[in-house]
Amino acid sequence: MEKNTFLILENFIGGKFVPCPAHIDSYDPSTGEVYCKVPDSGEEEVDAAVQAAKEAFPGWSARSPDQRAQVLNKLADLIEGHLEEFAQAESRDQGKTVTFARTVDIPRSAYNFRFFASSVLHHTTDCHQMDHVGCLNYTVRCPVGVAGLISPWNLPLYLLTWKIAPAIAAGNTVVAKPSEMSSVTAWMMCKLMQEAGVPSGVVNIVFGLGSRAGDALVGHPEVPLISFTGSTATARHITERSAPYCKKLSLELGGKNPALVFADADLDRCIETTVRSSFSNQGEICLCTSRIYVERSIYATFLEKFVAAARKWKTGVPSDPCNKNGALISKEHLEKVRSFVALAKSEGATVHCGEGINHPDLPKRNINGYFMAATVISGVADSSRVMQDEIFGPVTCVSPFDGEDEAVAKANGVRYGLAATVWSRDVGKVHRVARRLQTGLVWTNCWLVRDLNLPFGGMKNSGVGREGGRDSYHFFTEVKTVTIQH
């Protein structure tokens, strides 16, 4: 791309691209250079999008689930037809490797539409007879109206479609705000809407900052429900802003996810998977493992093997298929992640590899990119901020434990409760530990195996509500009980 030639995005409102008078700079994380201008939307743009969604709601909600499903499937076809184009754009915009975008982000984005197109056809309602009073009760589920959807920067199209698909499958219309740091693939998807048969106003996308566009959306009186994925701090603000309107909220928030490795674990399989669960997508996945507790009898062996495996997890230019990790999302985020490693060192912890030890080998044009090698730390106290706060980068801490009770206590000893992994061949132990862990998801001897039918979400500060086949359908609809006396 020539110097000073930027990609300029526009909002998508009422089926049309609408220019915005002000813009935000968006950076290519692999070079540290501005390459894109994102609309800096505010109340005016959000209100226009809400009005377009309101106008489209009666017609769209009146369609049968099957008619809506056909549109979702067509949109999935079109995303798959442009898979390589989307993968390249996602990598450049977010910093992830092209390989990860090509094999994870974009296929899953298309599958989200296919999954909800299918699942919406199979939901059933309840019926209950009261013969003693001559009554029949049944339930119906109705779409709510205009859904406000706010998605994060780490899996941009993947998590945006995870919200849009169930919302429109259930008959709602939407106003979505992607992260201002990774907006390009959302804008590209808007170009496919008309061809897919999405009526004008059913999907509206407004780009901008959370403090302006996001705030206007969550505080809009005609948006009855908000689905948000992001930080716990932002979720608190959303809860306060939406409280006067009694909005329905689904909040998928941070994690500080533990792995519990027992002495009877299949160590080779465990290390291979735990390296992936710790560092995939630069550690920028809410489900990544950031605390690894290992039974003391195998702790030294595990640590040695894990560090050796982490050193082989190559970080570098996102377009190189040999690289497992690309760049972190922004300069500010890289500095934040680095500050946690510095804090650990200042507290006497040992950094075994990664930050400050082995540096990514980068060509000249990427020297200012936001790269950080996979980092393994040991000797961190459980009370340290390094063990308590979400870092959201390629950093994981390894610590020993003695016995099942201590393992569970350490795992539960944070304010988050999103996911955990348990490594053991003992079936009884696996069930006992899974029951005691305060997390919404527990994987045993695996990681990130997802059945989209099943609930997804966390406990404690990791969120409110669940997403998935039935759960998303319930969130994006209101249930009505009808009683008929005959």
Q: What is the DSSP letter of 429?
A: H
Q: At 29, give phi and psi (nearest 5°).
A: -60, -25
Distance CA 369, CA 28 (A): 8
Identify which of 30, 21, 26 has the alpha carbon closest to the alpha carbon of residue 38.
Answer: 26
Interacting residues of 423 by C-beta distance below 8 A, sequence separation 6+: 259, 260, 261, 262, 265, 266, 270, 274, 444, 445
Residue 291 forms beta bridges with which residues? 258, 397
C-beta separation of 35 from 8 below 8 A = no
Ramachandran sector of residue 44 (left: φ over 0; alpha: ψ -120 to 50; beta: rest): alpha
CA torsion through residues 341, 347, 353, 355, sign: positive
Tokens of 87: 């993968």
Distance CA 238, CA 247 (A): 10
The active-site residue, picked from 20, 270, 286, 353, is: 286
C-beta separation of 185 from 156 below 8 A = yes
Interacting residues of 462 by C-beta distance below 8 A, sequence separation 6+: 232, 252, 253, 254, 255, 416, 417, 418, 439, 440
Q: At 413, give phi and psi (nearest 5°).
A: -85, 30
Tokens of 65: 């689930």
The torsion angle over the Cα atoms of residues 163, 168, 170 and 171, rounded to 10 degrees, is 150
C-beta separation of 214 from 175 below 8 A = no
- Cα distances from 146 to residues 14, 96, 170, 202, 367, in angstroms, run 13, 32, 12, 9, 44
Question: Cα 227 from chain centroid?
Answer: 12
Distance CA 306, CA 300 (A): 10
Ramachandran sector of residue 413 (left: φ over 0; alpha: ψ -120 to 50; beta: rest): alpha
Q: Which residue type does 483 have?
A: T
406 catalytic? Reply is no
Identify which of 404, 282, 403, 289 has the alpha carbon closest to the alpha carbon of residue 336.
Answer: 282
The active-site residue, picked from 252, 295, 355, 467, is: 252
Catalytic positions: 252, 286
